[in-house]
Chains A and B, each alone.
Chain A
Amino acid sequence: MLIKGPPDIRSSEITPESLYRSRRRFLKSAALTVGGVALASSRVFARLQDPTFKRGKPGPYDTTEDLTEYEDITTYNNFYEFGTGKEDPHENAGTLKTSPWTVKVEGEVKKPGSFALEDLLKGQTMEDRIYRLRCVEGWSMVIPWFGFPIANLIKRFEPTSRAKYVEFVTLLDPKQMPGQRVKVLDWPYTEGLRMDEAMHPLAIFATGLYGAPLPNQNGAPLRIVVPWKYGFKSAKSIVAIRFVERQPETTWHLAAPDEYGFYSNVNPSVDHPRWSQKTERRIGDFFKRKTEMFNGYADQVGSLYAGMDLRKNF
């Protein structure tokens, strides 16, 4: 007679993931608020819009922390091209036309040119990358991006030895991006990385999140994600990639040079001049948590900054 042992299945695999996670969210909020029931039920309702996403085995770069709700990721972020309120991108990004989309590759490369997005993505192995995102304002999320390493694309253009930095430029079109009708920032939004930062395997181009195409408000159709830096370093809706010899001028640095440095690595021991960076509030949490050096990616990226004074190169 065969005696079966207990099934080798965790409860999380039996319960549908969405239900499982909303139940956890329920417990969390019920413990924290008297009106937890109302809060949780509204979240469950909102979750119905989520793309079906199955969390696979964590890869070497993935965090195993709880994911931030799809609804939260897509309704709460900064994308000043669509307004300076945190819910503005969600409300106003409908006017962005992401197809056709062309990306210019310029500067110190052997193979410059203007490329259709499809051609850039051809041959790239796409993967889920579950990263922490830490905003310079003191809130954070855990986001399952979908994309590929920046290095895999950059290599194709054959940067020359003079390519020391790479610049990423966001679309400039006030018709599609109503926020650009006001000069809150010096448009177009320009961000940059040192070449070795851009080539680091953690730095990716993202075209999706939660396994679905990137919503416009999150930087469709092509953005970068640099998880050890404050969120604003990860340029969205990119139309130009420029390889340059000198450290490029970047948008937030231009807006407030003493507040936003070129590096802007997540660093709890270097405060923003106006507020502390020691703690952060993970969206969905009640209590704040400690911010980690390089947003918890110190083991992977720490060596990029060996010997650098991070207080000076903030």
Chain B
Amino acid sequence: MDLTSRVNAVLRMPWIKVPVAVACLLPITLLVTGAFAGTLSANPIDDITDGTGTWTLRFILITLAVTPVRQLTGLNGLIRYRRMLGLFAFFYGSLHFLTYLWLDQFFDLSSIVADIPKRPFITVGFTSYVLMVPLALTSADRIARWMGGRRWAALHRTVYLTAVGGVVHYLWLVKADIRAPLVYGGILAVLLAYRIVRAWRRRFARRA
């Protein structure tokens, strides 16, 4: 048995999803314990806001990396994790949105309603989050079957918009140091370029 099939065999073990899920919960665990232990910065609320935001973007990118990595390496077992990773992106996005609603705005509805359209980086961030909601709601197999694969896939392509929006949200909120958002933007560009090139090639191959 070669390495790829061995890794695939591990990836397909039913219980292996559990440690992966635990690992995905590590960032929020560290943030919460750090907040209580006083090991975050002097401004722990900002750390939680930044941390949940960064991990939302990371999980979106990790989710988008599943298919390219699977196709390039033959590690087809990875597909089992894509939905879970996407749901973790939604989970961190929800926490991030909640920190904004609660710790930044203190649920002041009139202020929130005024803030979202007025601040472009919040408009983009909010839109990106809202676009994730239908994807999370339609993530169950049964719903996907009910929708039909083609329609389901079309809907779930909006994740590309969410990803671009996430990077733009980050880029528009930093003051002067745009290096970090550019790194995320670069990774996203590679992941999107891969898909575009692949689609072109397939079209070309069909014609030939």
Chain B hits for A286, CB < 8 A:
45
How many angstroms between the C-alpha atoms of A42 and B36 in the bound complex? Answer: 9
CA A42 – CA B39 in complex, angstroms?
8
In whole Å, how far is B100's beta carbon from the nearest beta carbon of chain A? 12
In the complex, which of the residues A38, A80, A139, A184 contacts B38, with contact meaning CB atoms closer than 8 Å?
A: A38
Partner of B176, one of A38, A46, A139, A184: A184
Q: Are A86 and B41 in contact (CB under 8 A)?
A: yes
Encoded as 1 (CB less than 8 Å from any B CB) or 0, chain A from 278 to 301 comes to 000101101110000000000000
Known: A276-B115, A283-B42. A184 touches B177 (CB 8 A): yes
Q: Which residues of A contact B120 (CB under 8 A)?
A: 274
Q: In whole angstroms, what is the CA distance A43 to B36 when docked?
A: 11
Interface-centre pick from B37, B42, B120 (highest chain A CB count, 10 A)? B42
How extensive is the interface on chain A, given as a class? 20 to 34
User: Is B43 among interface residues, defined by CB-CB distance under 8 A?
Assistant: yes
Contact between chains at B106 and A75 (CB < 8 Å): no
**Chain A nearest CB, measured from B70 CB (Å):** 35
Interface string of B40-67 (1 = CB under 8 A from A): 0111011000000000000000000000
- B126 on interface, CB distance cutoff 8 Å: no
Chain B nearest CB, measured from A247 CB (Å): 22
Q: How many residues of B contact A (CB 8 A)?
A: 22
Asked whether, in the complex, the Cβ of B37 is within 8 Å of the Cβ of A283, the reply is no
Contacts of A33 on B, CB cut-off 8 Å? 35-36
CB of B145 closer than 8 Å to a CB of A: no
A256 interface residue per 8 A CB criterion: yes
- The docked-state distance in angstroms from the alpha carbon of A39 to that of B36 is 5
A22-78 residues at the B interface, CB under 8 angstroms: 33-35, 38-39, 42-43, 46, 69, 71-72, 75-76
Set of chain A residues within 8 Å of B39, measured between Cβ atoms: 42
* B42 A71 Cβ-Cβ under 8 A: yes
A255 within 8 A of B: yes
Contact with A along B173-198 (1 / 0, CB 8 A): 10111010000000000000000000
Decide if A245 is an interface residue (CB 8 Å cutoff). no
User: Bound complex: CA of A33 vs CA of B42, how far in Å?
Assistant: 16
A139 lies within 8 A of B115 (CB)? no
Assuming the contacts A274-B119, A274-B120, asked whether A75 and B42 have C-beta atoms less than 8 A apart, the reply is yes
**Given A42-B37, A274-B172; A72-B42 close (CB under 8 Å):** yes
A137: Cβ under 8 A from any B Cβ: yes
Q: Enumerate chain B residues within 8 angstroms of A76, measured Cβ to Cβ.
A: 41-43
Cα separation A72 to B172 with both chains bound (whole Å): 27
Of listed B38, B104, B172, B173, residue having the most chain A CB within 10 A: B38
Residue from B38, B41, B175 within 8 A of A39 (CB atoms): B38
In the complex, the answer to whether A256 meets B43 with C-beta atoms within 8 Å is no
* A276 contact set on B, CB distance < 8 A: 115, 119
Q: Could you tell me which B residues sit within 8 Å of A by CB distance?
A: 35-39, 41-43, 45-46, 104, 106, 115, 119-121, 172-173, 175-177, 179
29 residue pairs A–B, Cβ–Cβ below 8 Å: A33-B36, A34-B36, A35-B35, A35-B36, A38-B36, A38-B37, A39-B35, A42-B39, A43-B38, A69-B42, A80-B177, A84-B176, A86-B41, A86-B42, A137-B175, A139-B43, A139-B46, A184-B176, A185-B176, A256-B175, A256-B176, A274-B173, A275-B119, A276-B115, A283-B42, A284-B42, A286-B45, A287-B106, A288-B106
Q: A80-B176, A137-B175, A274-B119 are in contact. List 18 more A-B contacts (CB 8 A).
A: A39-B35, A42-B38, A46-B38, A75-B41, A76-B41, A76-B42, A139-B46, A182-B177, A182-B179, A184-B177, A185-B176, A274-B120, A274-B172, A276-B119, A281-B43, A281-B45, A281-B46, A287-B106
